Amino acid sequence: MNVERPIYERPNTDAEAAADARARADIAAGRVIDHAEVMAWLSKWGTPQEVPAPLEWFK
């Protein structure tokens, strides 16, 4: 059965609020990555110097 789906799904405001709260808690706890550090890593994408994201970014 082909059910027509809307082009845009309604946002899940509860999930978005929970994600925002987790992000604010991470920021308050100092679990952030410096923008310049991320940009330096991203600038290597698509080059021979490309490397995976540092593991400490995921702690």
Give the per-residue pLDDT at 54. Answer: 96
> Could you give phi then psi for residue 45, rounded to 5 degrees?
-60, 140
DSSP secondary structure letters along 1-40: ------SSPPP-HHHHHHHHHHHHHHHHTT----HHHHHH
The domains of the chain are located at 22-58
Give the per-residue pLDDT at 46. Answer: 97
CB-based contact 33:57 (threshold 8 Å): yes
User: What is the pTM assigned to this prediction?
Assistant: 0.63
CA atoms within 13 A on the CB side of 40: 6
Q: What is the pLDDT of residues 4-58, one digit of tens each?
A: 888 888 889 999 999 999 999 999 999 999 999 999 999 999 999 999 999 999 8
- Does 1 score more than 80 pLDDT? no
